[in-house]
Amino acid sequence: IFEAFRQADGTTNRKFGGTGLGLSISRELTRILGGEIHLASEEGAGSVFTVTVPEILTLAVTSAKPLLVSESIVLPEIISRYGNKDRSVASHPVTTPLAKGTIDDDRDRISSAQQLLLVVEDDERFARILYHMAHEQSFQCIVSTTADEAKELAERFVPSAVILDVGLPDHSGLSVLDRLKQNSRTRHIPVHVISAEDYSETAYSLGAVSYMLKPVKREELLDKFQKMQNGTTHHMRRVLVVEDDLVQRESIGKLLSSPDVATIGVGTAAECLQLLGSDTFDCMVLDLSLPDESGYSLLETLSKEERYSFPPVIVYTGRDLSSAQEQQLRRYSKSIIIKGAKSPERLLDEVTLFLHQVIHELSPEQQTMLKKARNRDAILEGRRILIVEDDIRNIYSISNILEPRGATVQIARNGREALEALDQSLDAPDKVIDLVLMDVMMPEMDGITATRKIRANSAWKKLPIIMLTAKAMRNDQEHCLSAGANDYMAKPLDVEKLLSLVRVWMPR
Peptide bond into 215 cis (omega under 30): yes
Q: What pLDDT, on the 0 to 100 scale, is given for residue 63?
A: 39
Distinct helix (H) and strand (E) counts, the chain = 18, 17
Q: What pLDDT, on the 0 to 100 scale, is given for residue 217?
A: 87
- Rg of the chain over all Cα atoms, to the nearest angstrom: 26
Q: What pLDDT, on the 0 to 100 scale, is given for residue 7?
A: 60
The whole-angstrom distance between residue 274's C-alpha and the CA centroid of its chain comes to 38
Q: Three-class SS of residue 46?
A: strand
Q: What pLDDT, on the 0 to 100 scale, is given for residue 71?
A: 33
pTM metric for this prediction = 0.59
Q: What pLDDT, on the 0 to 100 scale, is given for residue 36?
A: 92
Residue type, 267: G
The closest of 183, 166, 175, 155 to 120, measured between CA atoms, is 166
Q: What pLDDT, on the 0 to 100 scale, is given for residue 151?
A: 92
Sign of CA dihedral 165, 170, 174, 175: negative
Dist CA 238 CA 236 (whole Å): 7
Dist CA 473 CA 36 (whole Å): 33
Q: What pLDDT, on the 0 to 100 scale, is given for residue 275?
A: 93
For the beta carbon of residue 398, count every other beta carbon within 10 angstroms.
Answer: 24
Task: Going residue by residue through the chain, which has 508 residues, state the pLDDT in tens, using 9 for 90 and above.
Answer: 887 666 666 565 566 655 567 788 888 889 888 899 999 999 999 999 999 998 887 654 343 333 333 333 343 443 344 444 343 333 333 334 445 556 788 988 888 878 899 999 999 999 999 999 999 988 999 999 999 899 999 999 999 999 999 988 888 899 999 899 888 889 888 899 998 888 887 888 788 888 889 888 888 888 888 877 766 555 678 899 999 999 999 999 998 988 888 999 999 999 999 999 998 888 899 998 899 998 889 998 998 888 898 888 888 887 777 777 877 887 776 666 666 655 788 788 888 887 877 777 788 888 888 777 665 566 788 899 999 998 888 888 899 889 988 899 999 999 999 999 999 998 887 789 999 999 998 888 999 999 999 999 999 999 999 998 876 555 677 788 889 999 888 887 888 888 888 988 998 7
Q: Greatest CA separation found in the chain?
A: 88
Dist CA 414 CA 14 (whole Å): 11
